[in-house]
Structure formats: structure tokens, C-alpha cells
Structure 1
Amino acid sequence: MASLSIRDVYKTYPNGVPVLKGVNIDIEDGQFLILVGGSGCGKSTLLNMIAGLETVTKGEIQIDGKTVNNLSPKDRDIAMVFQSYALYPSMTVRENISFGLNIRKVPKAEQTQIVERVANTLQITHLLDRKPGQLSGGQRQRVAMGRALARDPVMFLFDEPLSNLDAKLRIEMRSEIKLLHQRLGTTIVYVTHDQIEAMTLGDRIAVMKDGVVQQFGAPQEIYDSPSNLFVAGFIGAPPMNFIQGKLVEAGAGVGIELDTGVTRSVLNLPFESGQVKSHVGREVILGLRPERITDARSAHNVEGGKLQPVEVKVDVIEPTGPDTLVFAQVNGKRIVSRVHPASNPQPLANTTLLFDVSKAVLFDPSNEERIA
């Protein structure tokens, strides 16, 4: 196992295009780090820099306390699993897994033990004499992981390993990777554009945009307390609702004006007036997760007194089985809520939604940063 420290790292290509702009990340031995963001955010470039496949323009990367900027990939004691599997089609699974061991001249008897141990861990013993062309996508990804495991490195690097798989296989392989990490306890750095993978797999998540880490922290912390509008909208499925409206005084506290086309009201917010005093009378953006807007059947877990009814007109519904997504207009923008399927809301009909603001967040529309 090994810790990883990324200190003020920059990457600029020879044509002058900046890719990474001062990245700072620290994880401990055995932690699972997720680098998540959209295409072009710099996450794969950062992974390649950790691996030694890209040079560092400025800053420092340390693995287990040792600066590795100038070390070649083979001297970093890491193993990488690629999106494309990168298996040798003419070799059997056994030969693919042991290929790196052969290169390092590991004795044959030891190779056999390692291959059997890895195959047993990944439950692919019955596939050892097959070739990649005879395997499914999920089986190929297991073999690619097996080749990395055979190295017994201090750190694993995964570059979007599940993006070529169908939805069912992605879920299965996600669980396999998580179980693998629990069994081995090895440090993992994992790149993905899928926020569900990020939430379910990681101990720590770095949300990236335009070469900058927008927020770094535990999954639940990022979900509940996003630092800005980008993070709030990127993490979560369906994404967080953003309701723009005027912040006003409401009794001893503050609230936001709502217009649903059916009724006008003020939604009381759980913030101290002093906390948001400078924004009273101005436009703000209220962030609420879909599960915080629900119906009476689904609201039994919410503490009394925190639910506020708002009448809306239903645009469209999307039954998902365990719940139903209800879309409606608030302040001229469509929002999504989660309700109990038995509540049976109907499109174009009015219904009452219950707003739980206990985990509401406020953003400044001028700079998209979080206010409270």
C-alpha cells in the first residue's frame, strides 16, 4: 500500500494549452480515490502523470512519501487497468496474466502460484485456458484486472475501466472492484466520468472541471455540501434542483419567493439571517435534491415541522418502480421530485409536494459559489 500526494501540479502542453492548473490532492494508504469530471477536465492526464506516462510541468507527485516526478513508470511500483483491456489476443488468459511476470523473470513455479491466486480472487479459474476472443466484456475486464493484480503493486490506477460495458455489466463489475478493494486494501486511483461510479466506489472524490479540482472530499460530504453550482449539478442522479428566486425576510429568518403557476408563496429556509444577510433582497439559487421534494407517503422519515407544502402543476411523470419522478414548474424552471408510486400523480393535474429544506444549499448566481 502507499499514500499519494499531489502538490500544486500543473500541466501545460508544448503548444501552450494548460491542462492542469494547480491540483492538490492527498490520500492515505489503502484509500480509493476517484477522479471524476466531464471530457477534457484533465482527469486522465492527471492519472497518466501519476503513472509516469506524462511529464509534470510544475509541482510534485509523491508516492508513499517519495517524489516520483523523474521516475520511469516501471520504477513507480504501480499497475494500470485500461478502458480498452489491452489484452494480447493470441495469448490465453493464463499467459496474459503472467506476461509481466515473465518479463521480470519470475520463476515458473512462482508464476503458477500467482496466476492461480489471482484467478481464484477474480473467479476466473475456469477461463485460464481461453483466449480473449472467447470471453465476454466483463470477463476480459477481469483478466485485465488480473494482470494488474499479478504485479502486487503498491497502487492500482484505473482509467475508465467500465465504460465499454453495458449497464448490467457495469453494475456487476462495480461491485467486483469494490469487493476487490475491501479484500486487498491497496491504494486505488480511479478515473471516471460517471458520477454514480464515483459515489459508490470512492473513499475520496476529486470533482474536476477545466483542469481545476472544484471539490475534494468524502462522497456524502460532496453530495450534501457541494462547494459550487457545478459540483451540485454534476453529482447526483437525477441532479440537484436549482430554483432561482428572491431571498426575503420571513419572520425571524429568511425565505425564497416561489411561483408555481398555481400559487405564490415564500418557502422558509433554515439559515440564520446573519449568515445570508448581504443577499436578502437579491436573487439567489436554492439547491434541493429530488428526494427532498416528495409527498406525504414518502415523507415519514423527515422530522416534524420541517416539511412545507407547495402546490404545483405536474408536467410529466416517470415511474421507476420504487418511486415516481414528478416534474413540475417552479419559478419558470422545471424541477424533479421523488414521490411514492402509490400517490399516483397525473400529468397536467395539480398536486401538493412537500419541501424538506433541512439540507438546502444556497448559491450566488453571479459567481455560482455556495453562499450557505
Structure 2
Amino acid sequence: MASLSIRDVYKTYPNGVPVLKGVDIDIEDGQFLILVGGSGCGKSTLLNMIAGLETVTKGEIQIDGKTVNNLSPKDRDIAMVFQSYALYPSMTVRENISFGLNIRKVPKTEQKQIVERVANTLQITHLLDRKPGQLSGGQRQRVAMGRALARDPVMFLFDEPLSNLDAKLRIEMRSEIKLLHQRLGTTIVYVTHDQIEAMTLGDRIAVMKDGVVQQFGAPQDIYDSPSNLFVAGFIGAPPMNFIQGKVVEAGSGVGIELDTGVARGVLNLPFDSGKVKSHVGREVILGLRPERITDARSAHNVEGGKLQPIEVKVDVIEPTGPDTLVFAQVNGKRIVSRVHPASNPQPLTNATLLFDVSKAVLFDPSNEERIA
């Protein structure tokens, strides 16, 4: 196992294009770090810099307290699992797993023991004599992981390993990777554009955009307390609702004006009036997760907070089985809520939704940063 420290790291390509702009990340031995963001955010470049496949323009990368900026990939004691599997088609599974061991001239008897141990861990013992062309996508990914495991490195690097799999297989492989981490306890750095993978797998998440880490922390902390509008909208499925409206005084506190087309009123907010006093009379963006807008049948699932009823006109419904997504207009923008399937709301009819603002967040529209 090994800790990882990324300190004020920059990457600029020879053509002058900046890719990473002062990245700071620290994880402890055995932690599972997720680098998540859209295409072009710099996450894969950062992974390649940890691996030694890309040079560092400025800053420092340390693995287990040792600066590795000038170390070659083979001297960093890391193993990488690629999106494309990168298996040798003419070799059997056994030969693919043991390929790196052969290069390092590990004795044959020891190679056999390592391959059997790895195959047993990944439940692919019955596949050892097959070739990659005879395997499914999930089996090939297991073999690619097995080849990395055979190295017994201090750190694993995963570069979007599940993006080539179908939806059902991705869910299964997520569980496999999580179980593997629990068994081995090895430090893992995992790149993905899928925020569900990020939430389900990571101990720590670094949300990236345009070469900058927008927020770094535990998955639930990022979900509940996003630092800005980008993070709030990127993490969560369906994404957080953003309702723009004017802050007004409401009794001894503050609220936000709402207009649903069938009702108008003020939604009371839980924030200290002193904290947002300077925004009274100004436009803000209220962020509410879909599960925080619900119906009477689901209200018992809501923790804390005073539920405030708002009448809306239903635009569209999407039944998902365990709940139903209800889309409606609030302040001229479509929002999504989660209601009990038995409520059976119908499009183009009015319905009463219950707003729980106990975990609401406020953003400034001018800079998209969080206010409260």
C-alpha cells in the first residue's frame, strides 16, 4: 500500500495549451480515489502523470512519501488497468496474467502460484486456458485486472475500465472492483466520467473541470454540500434541481419566491437570515435534490426539515419502479421530483409536491459559487 500526494501540479503541452492548473490532492494508504469529470477536464492526463506516462510541467507527485517526478513507470511500483483491456490475443488467460512475471524473470513455480491465487481471487480459474477471443467483455476485464494484480503493486491505476461494457455488466463489475479493494486494501486511483461510479466506488472524489479540481472530499459530503453550481449539477442522478428566484424576508427568516404557473408563494429557507441578508431582494439559485421534493406517501422517508406544500402542474412522468419521477415547471424552469409510484400523478394535471429544504443549498448566479 502507499499514500499519494499531488502538490500544486501543472501540465502544459508544448503548444502552450494548459491541461492541469495547480492540482492538490492527498490520499492515505489503502484509500480509493476517484478522478471524475467530463471529457477534456484533465483526469486521464493526471492519471498518466501518476503512472509516469506524462511529464509534470510544475509541481510534485509523491508515492508513499517519495517524489516520483523523474522516475520511469517501471520504477514506480504501480499497475494500470486500461479501458481497452490490452490483452494479447494469441496468448491464453494464464499467459496474459503471467506475461509481466516472465519479463521480470520470476521463477516458474512462483509464477504458477501467483496466477492461481489471482485467478481464484477474480473467480476466473476456469478460464485460464482460454484465449481473449473466447471471453465476454466482463471476463476480459477480469483478466486485465488479474494481470495488474499479479504485479502486487503498491498502487493500482484504473483508466475508465468499465466504459466499454453494457449497463448491466458495468453494475456487476463495479461490485467486483469494490470487493477487490475491500479484500486487498491496496491504494487505487480510478478515472471515470460516470458520477454513479464515482459515488459508489470512491472513498475520496476529486471533481474536475478545465484542469482544476472543483471539489475534493468524501462522496456524501460532495453530494450534500457541493461547493459550486458545476459540482452540484455533475454529481447526482437525476441531477440537482436549480431554481432561480428572488430572496425575500419571510417572518424572522428568509425565503425565495416561487411561481409554478398554478400557484405563487414563498418557500421558507432554513438559512440564518444574517448569512444571506445581503442577498435579500437579489436573484439566487436554489439547489434541491429530486428526493427532497416528494409527495405525502413518500414523506415518511424524508429526514428532518419542515415539508412545505407547493401546487404544480405536471409536465411529464417517468416511472422507474421503486419511485416515479415527476417533472413540473417552477419559476419558468423544469424541475424533477421523486414520488411514490402509488401516487400515480398524470401529465397536464395539478399535483401537490412537498418541498424539504433541510439540505437546500444557495448559489450566486454571477459566479456560480455557493452562498449557503
After the TM superposition, which parts of structure 1 deviate over 4 Å for at least 4 consecutive aligned residues? Answer: none
- In 2: Cα distance, 1:314 partner to 1:361 partner: 24
CA offset digits 1:315-357 (Å, max 9, x no partner): 0000000000000000000000000000010000000000000
CA contact (8 A) 2:305 2:356 kept: no
RMSD: 0.6
- In 2: Cα distance, 1:57 partner to 1:305 partner: 49
2:133 match: secondary structure:
helix
Map of 2:108 onto structure 1: 108
- In 2: Cα distance, 1:302 partner to 1:137 partner: 40
Q: Which moved more, 1:302-311 or 1:8-17?
A: 302-311
- In 2: Cα distance, 1:141 partner to 1:363 partner: 41
- In 1: Cα distance, 2:118 partner to 2:248 partner: 61
1:112 match: secondary structure:
helix
- In 2: Cα distance, 1:165 partner to 1:337 partner: 30
2:47 match: secondary structure:
helix
- In 2: Cα distance, 1:245 partner to 1:140 partner: 51
- In 1: Cα distance, 2:278 partner to 2:84 partner: 52
CA contact (8 A) 2:305 2:358 kept: no
How many matched pairs?
A: 372
CA offset digits 1:148-207 (Å, max 9, x no partner): 000000000000000000000000000000000000000000000000000000000000
Q: Which moved more, 1:54-63 or 1:304-313?
A: 304-313
- In 2: Cα distance, 1:305 partner to 1:89 partner: 58
Map of 1:191 onto structure 2: 191
CA offset digits 1:191-234 (Å, max 9, x no partner): 00000000000000000000000000000000000000000000
Runs of at least 5 residues in structure 1 that lack an aligned partner in the other structure: none
CA offset digits 1:95-153 (Å, max 9, x no partner): 00000000000000000000000000000000000000000000000000000000000
1:353 match: secondary structure:
strand
Shift of the alpha carbon at 1:277? 1.0
- Classify 1:81/1:304 alpha carbon distance in 2 versus 1 (closer, same or farther; 3 Å): closer
Normalised TM-score (structure 2): 0.99
CA contact (8 A) 2:256 2:268 kept: yes
- In 2: Cα distance, 1:304 partner to 1:72 partner: 53
- In 1: Cα distance, 2:230 partner to 2:219 partner: 15
CA contact (8 A) 2:324 2:338 kept: yes
- In 2: Cα distance, 1:310 partner to 1:95 partner: 64
Shift of the alpha carbon at 1:302? 3.0
Map of 1:30 onto structure 2: 30
- In 2: Cα distance, 1:344 partner to 1:263 partner: 21
1:14 match: secondary structure:
coil
Map of 2:342 onto structure 1: 342
Map of 2:370 onto structure 1: 370
Shift of the alpha carbon at 1:89? 0.2
CA contact (8 A) 2:292 2:302 kept: no
Runs of at least 5 residues in structure 2 that lack an aligned partner in the other structure: none
Shift of the alpha carbon at 1:301? 3.0
Q: How does 1:85-234 map to 2 (within 5 A)?
A: 85-234=85-234
2:62 match: secondary structure:
strand
Shift of the alpha carbon at 1:303? 5.3
CA contact (8 A) 2:305 2:357 kept: no
Normalised TM-score (structure 1): 0.99
CA offset digits 1:44-64 (Å, max 9, x no partner): 000000000000000000000
- In 1: Cα distance, 2:305 partner to 2:330 partner: 22
Shift of the alpha carbon at 1:305? 6.3
